[in-house]
Amino acid sequence: MNKNQILAIVVVVVIVGAAGAYVLWPKGPAGVTPTPPREGTLIWETISTPQYLDPHVDYETFGSWIAYNCYETLYTYEWHTDNTEPVVPLLAESYVTSADGLNYTFTLRQGVTFQDGTPFNASCVKWNFERAMKIFDPDGPVWMFAEPILGGGDVEAALYDHGGASPEFAAAYDNWVANSSSLIVMSNYVIRMRLAYKFAPFLAAITYFVGAQMSPTWVAKHGGVAYGAHNTYIDTHTCGTGPYNVTSWVPEEVIQLSKVSNYWRATAAIADVPEAGTLDTIVIKTNNDVSSRILNLLANSTDVGLWPTTHASYIWNGVTSDSGDGTLKSLNRKLKVWCGEPGYNVMFIGFNMNPTLNKSGSIVQSPFTIKSLRESFSYAFDYQTFIDTIISGFGIQCQGPIPTGMFGHNDSLYMYQYDIDQAVLKWNQAMTEGLPAILANMSYSIELYYNVGNTVREQGCLLMKDGIMKILADPAATDPASPITVTVQALSWPSYLYQLNNKQLPFFFLGWAPDYADPDNYASPFVKSTSLYAGRIGLGISAGWNSTLVDGWINTAAQSLVPADRITLYGKIQKAIVDQAAYIWVYQSTNFHVEAVYMNGYVYNAMLSGPYFYHMWKAYPTGFTL
């Protein structure tokens, strides 16, 4: 199917209006509960595509969602609750920690096999963590394991100082494997992990898919592991211990998962969820056209679809209490809606403060090296209009990187508000600090990028453009030598990520879904100078930033087990990054999920990128008629 094609359906009329979205359906036999369409197959439409299928290098939400259904970790989250702590033993049966908090000893589950038949044991766990460390994609998730594990910091330092392809990195990795004794196989089903320092969220960190277990036999068969390099076959295929395996993938079009026949947890899952495993095939289609996705879902040509909050009024009835079984908030009795449950996702705009940008093939100086320009644009963004209009109220303005409701959030932080007068004052200041020459070098052109199909980010970029144009149109603003052109452009998700990772985007609109529910998982990627976003935006080399001081706060906070001390440190960290105006903290999201009324088993959890397909099934409510 062409990704923008509306599927052929038997339904003849669709009405979408201010009161909601409705479909006129042909009537079925009176009093007879119908059979759901495609009982063994789930069709889901969304935007984007995974970056990679290798969980040790992929670091974005789509890929994590696929990994959640194909790969497994030692522990996981409760499948049927919103608990954000990893309390469910999965590939492990149990663990104990030493009195000093530095040793974690896991007893593993016996009788588990990978999808290729390879037995799972402690040697496999050791091999998987060593594999992740040997590849160590600097844009991937390995940092969250490498930093606390004994000796891992030296490997990470070699990566950032010399690159993954360097002999220095290879030597540091080999020394870690040979001499650190950080991963000790105690017996066939017992493994000990030794930390360099106490790290409160360690179990949660390795519950992220940096801790995913894949078959060593399968990897060896398909190219093995190289220092600092991806395995292109593993990037596009899967072989874990989970209930599904990717059987086909056409990026930007469709990805198909098929249920494995020898899933080790099948009997236990059925005891918990009698309908578990009834979905044999999962088909996830990329469809970047909002109207098409909505029409397909209304017609049950698809079972679940990404329904953006920009279109919430068509399906949401305004109820703000608990979502219950999904029928309480829907304007359409044939669809379920879950919405408004608080989450930990943070949406932000990052300013590229690196000295230069690759702009359309030309190397130019970045305008965002000038703090007053970052402040100007922070005042020019209309936060409340974005929240009220674009996301239909499904979010609150962020107050720094750590979300409201999470331990360590600093409620006293300064929050930028929409204020064009202040924006103009800061613009004029930037014009005295070297901005005119930079604008000339940029050919007086500013581009705002979003990933194609993401209507929320598209509208956010348009709102940012509107604020910039208001600055330029203000009579009090200092005029540049030539008129400035501001354009909003779409990029495919892989292209967007590539340019982001290579520091080519002048500033970027993105979201952060936490890897583990701890303030360290916000302070590290956003603020630690060598970490994910901080590295991309050049925070460590930006004027006025003290990396040694702030990185030290982050390390100390992560290593402390004293809550009061951690709160004090995270307060300092958040104030430092807000004072630097390195990001626009746009909003903290709440969920919005729409599916057919015959879908069952969906549970929202703020720590998960998507649902667990194995516990989902199709069945109309008893007595339901068309």
- In this predicted model, what pLDDT tens digit does every residue of 45-56 receive, in sequence order? 999 899 999 999
Are both 380 and 525 inside the same structural domain? yes
Q: Give me the number of domains the chain comprises.
A: 3
Are both 221 and 157 inside the same structural domain? yes
pLDDT the model gives residue 30:
56
DSSP letters along 199-267, please?
-TTHHHHHHSGGG-B--HHHHHHTT--BTTB--TTGGG----SSSEEEEEEETTTEEEEEE-TT-TTHH
Average pLDDT (282-295) is 97
The answer to whether residue 624 sits within a structural domain is no
Which tokens sit at 337?
Answer: 């809606």
Place of tokens 């970490």: 531
Are both 378 and 294 inside the same structural domain? no
82 neighbors 608 (Cβ within 8 angstroms): no
Its sign, for the CA torsion 100, 101, 102, 107, is positive
Quote the domain boundaries for residue 466: 343-589
pLDDT of residue 430 exceeding 90, the answer is yes
Pairwise CA distance, residues 49 & 626, whole Å: 34
- pLDDT band for 332, please (50, 70, 90 cuts): very high
Are both 181 and 67 inside the same structural domain? yes
Are both 129 and 145 inside the same structural domain? yes
- The SS3 of residue 140 is coil
pLDDT of residue 286 exceeding 90, the answer is yes
pLDDT the model gives residue 14:
39
The answer to whether residue 192 sits within a structural domain is yes
227 neighbors 171 (Cβ within 8 angstroms): no
68-71-72 Cα angle (round to 5): 85
- pLDDT band for 9, please (50, 70, 90 cuts): very low
pLDDT of residue 29 exceeding 80, the answer is no
**Alpha helix (H) ranges present in 319-370?**
none
Are both 378 and 420 inside the same structural domain? yes
Give me the CATH number covering residue 179: 3.90.76.10
pLDDT the model gives residue 360:
64
The answer to whether residue 523 sits within a structural domain is yes
Where does a domain end: 226, 242, 258? 242
The answer to whether residue 257 sits within a structural domain is yes
Give me the CATH number covering residue 366: 3.10.105.10
Share of the chain above pLDDT 70, in %: 95
Give me the CATH number covering residue 265: 3.40.190.10
**Among 401, 608, 592, 396, which Cα is nearest to 510's?**
401
DSSP letters along 3-27, please?
TTPPPP-S--EEEEETTEEEEE---
352 neighbors 366 (Cβ within 8 angstroms): yes
- Residue 206: phi and psi, rounded to 5, are -85, 0
The answer to whether residue 383 sits within a structural domain is yes
pLDDT of residue 327 exceeding 70, the answer is yes
Instruction: Go through 44-80 and write b for each residue having 16 or more CB atoms within 10 A of its CB, e for each that does not.
Output: bbbbbbbbbbbbbbbbbbbbbbbbbbbbbbbbbbebe
The answer to whether residue 623 sits within a structural domain is no
Average pLDDT (550-576) is 94
Are both 442 and 547 inside the same structural domain? yes
320 neighbors 59 (Cβ within 8 angstroms): no
Average pLDDT (216-236) is 98
208 neighbors 144 (Cβ within 8 angstroms): yes
82 neighbors 604 (Cβ within 8 angstroms): yes
The answer to whether residue 392 sits within a structural domain is yes
Which of 9-18, 125-134, 171-180, 450-459 has the weakest average pLDDT?
9-18
Are both 400 and 331 inside the same structural domain? no
Are both 234 and 255 inside the same structural domain? no
Pairwise CA distance, residues 173 & 237, whole Å: 26
445-451/485-491 β-pairing = parallel
Angle, in degrees to the nearest 10, between helices 455-473 and 371-380: 110
Average pLDDT (460-481) is 97
CA 432 to chain CA centroid, nearest Å: 39
Are both 492 and 603 inside the same structural domain? no
Host H or E run for residue 586: strand 583-596
The answer to whether residue 54 sits within a structural domain is no
Place of tokens 């068309």: 626
**Among 454, 392, 381, which Cα is nearest to 420's?**
381
Are both 361 and 397 inside the same structural domain? yes
- pLDDT band for 459, please (50, 70, 90 cuts): very high
pTM for this predicted structure: 0.84
Are both 183 and 296 inside the same structural domain? no
Where does a domain end: 207, 223, 242? 242
pLDDT the model gives residue 401:
96
DSSP letters along 502-569, please?
TT--SEEEEEE--SSSSTHHHHHHHHSTTSHHHHHHTGGGSTT--HHHHHHHHHHHHH---HHHHHHH
CA atoms within 13 A on the CB side of 376: 24
Where does a domain end: 220, 242, 264? 242
